[in-house]
Chains A and B, each alone.
Chain A
Amino acid sequence: MNSVALVGMPNVGKTALFNALTGSFQKVANFPGVTVEKKMAHMSLPQGEGCELVDLPGLYSLDVATLDEKVARDWLTGKIQNSGPLILVLDSTHLQKSIYLLLQILELGHRPVIALTQMDQSQKRGQILNFEKLSQLSGCTVIPVSAITGEGLPQLKEVVGQSLHHFEAKNIEIAPDYQKRIKNPLYVSEKFKTIDMWLKEVIQTPLRPDSLTARLDSLALHPIGGFFVLFGLLFLMFQALFSWAGPAQDLIEAALSFLGTQVGQLITHPLLHSLIVDGIIGGVGGVIVFLPQILLLFLFIQFLEDVGYLGRAAFLMDGFMRKLGLPGKAMIPLLSSHACAIPGVLATRILEDRRERLVAMMVIPLTTCSARLPVFTLLIAAIIPSSAHLGPFSYQGIAMMSLYVFPMISSILVAAVLRKVMPHEAPSMLLMELPPYRLPKLRHLARTLMNKAQIFVSKAGKVILLLSLVIWALVSFPRHENGSMGDIEHSYAAVIGKAFTPIFAPLGFDWKINTALVPAMGAREVLVAALSTVYAVEGDEESQASQLTSVLGTQYSLATLASLIVWFVFAPQCISTIAVIKRESGSWAAPLGMVAYTLVLAWVMAFLTYRILL
């Protein structure tokens, strides 16, 4: 099929136009040889069969600064597949900026179809443009469009259809010194002069200034008010991840357990029953239970990005975050991983620099995610009586709070160390454009969310499911001689638990704790259920927990339980996190490195805790 590429500068409304031009289904792959996302979707055309529309990464000029921009440049210079016409997106409200790329594309010999976007804004702010003049000067067809109102989209498709029909691939020849020439400041100034000359002819009535952006920025970037807005929004995000995702997750869990019981009744064979109910339904549940949090977080991030606020947040936090070796935007993945590391790791996509993204991914598993709460609650209750108070504060509350603060400090320290240790690429820059504020389009938001959910389920989901099945097998086998399913204390998990006794004995763990740690790799909160099984505690969840608290209190010393808490603070869990880091970093090096350093850290810290308290 023929492909048409959409090219344009960042923040000109390219992705919004892509969404408006194509149907709801989009494919995401990588460009050959690089981990740069290539988004493609089918675009129907009035001339029949339609074509594939490729959304090239945004680039300011052929003088590129990042890998993403390089991919777009290589496409334009014909280094990678270049088999069809181009649509160049120019922002009608920022012509001074966006014509630069047009001039360079013309220099290469392309004749793109020009989509002049944001026409709704342009008209609202009283701008009058001479489209024919622009068409004359550039030698290209100019179509004024708006992705918001849909204006001009049919005409754009019509013209693209025609140019597909007449398109002849030609060799793009670049003078050997071209790359050097465009880096010359004189070349840049000369292009700016051309732009100003063109604009004199094209703009008949100029835009009224963007008073909305100026007014919003006077609040969003205000020395005091700005932080109120930022922390207010972050608090809202945090609240959403903790409280609002909960009911949806409970619903998913209830639905799956209902499904499990229903399906379970139909299967009498004990092995098949356990495989399907505990292994497969449980494993699939382990994947989709993350969706409410992932969707909420991405709704939030995408909304802030579409509105234009994300850059402002980065601006406010950059000075502080850079002292930790991370850019300002890293706030968002780090904070959201307190709810769950999975959406946190996915959110590191907002960091463009690969090294910083890796550092963020490596420290995210240290933050106290919500799955650790049941474990901490149980263990704290077993160590500290609920009646103990320090003034108005209960010691239990203080302990819980320190389990948030302590990991935060450790992640800062680890980030500082990693920054020193990791191979140094180019120093990361802040240098970025703060786009004008814009009203987000719901369809665009919804589509991005669907896309993220789809990627998570299809890519990370496979690994999570596979690893869940491995853990299911470890806990369920070998079976009893009579054919019924085995118990955890006679399972391979227990064999592993016993085998690891020499390694974990210095931390005060016995084989029962070690065994319960095996399924806890699937999800931390399972530790509570696993310990209940090992100690044969029965009853519903609540009575189980309170019985277990007293059992643990009598079975283990304070030193052992404290060391177990410390282990849970640092140890690499859960497998879903490992799977997602593998998927997002594109190799096993990052997840294995993370597992290795957290294991060592967990062992050393738990050992110290145990020794000091013994």
Chain B
Amino acid sequence: MTLNEATLQQNYRILSLTVDEDSPVASRFRQLGFVPGMEVKCEAVAPILKNPFLVRIRGINVALAKSEALMIGIEEIK
């Protein structure tokens, strides 16, 4: 599953990132801590359009568009 499908307030682990590694988006992902193995939690979704998303990762809040959330493969932490 991808990050846009995450249930609110549930912990997930990042499995993969589908993004061109040299693109600015990929750099920003790495800067904010989006790398495989990292834990994320979806905190909020913008109303009406259900886009963008607000997630918590490594102690910071990050807003990301649906197109960006689609790039992040996750699995639920049991």
Contact = CB atoms under 8 A, between A and B. Distances in A.
A426 B26 CA distance: 12
A61 B31 contact: yes
Interface residues of B, number: 37
Contacts of B21: 183
A63 B14 CA distance: 20
A221 interface: yes
Nearest to B25: A429
A433 B47 contact: no
Interface residues of A, number: 39
Interface in B16-51: 17, 21-33, 35-38, 44, 46-51
Contacts of A100: 31
B63 A311 contact: yes
A183 B65 contact: no
A322 interface: yes
Contacts of A592: none
A319 B46 contact: yes
Interface in A157-214: 183, 185, 188-189, 192
A433 to B, nearest CB: 5
B58 A96 contact: yes
A483 interface: no
A431 B62 contact: yes
A404 interface: no
Contact of B25 (A96, A315, A427, A433): A427
20 contacts: A61-B30, A65-B31, A94-B59, A183-B30, A188-B35, A189-B36, A189-B38, A192-B35, A192-B38, A221-B46, A224-B47, A226-B47, A315-B54, A319-B46, A319-B50, A319-B66, A426-B23, A429-B25, A432-B62, A433-B61
B28 A183 contact: no
B46 A431 contact: no
Interface in A215-260: 217, 221, 223-224, 226-227
A147 to B, nearest CB: 20
Nearest to A213: B61
Contacts of B61: 217, 433-436
Given A192-B58, A221-B44, A318-B52, A430 B30 contact: no
Nearest to A427: B25
Contact of B30 (A66, A97, A188): A188
B70 interface: no
Contacts of A318: 46, 51-52, 63, 65
Nearest to A432: B63
Interface in A26-77: 60-61, 63-66
Contact of A315 (B23, B32, B52, B68): B52
Given A315-B54, A429-B25, A227 B47 contact: yes
Most buried by A among B38, B52, B66: B52
Contacts of B77: none
Contacts of A314: 63
Contacts of A94: 59-60
Contacts of B58: 96-97, 192
A447 B24 CA distance: 32
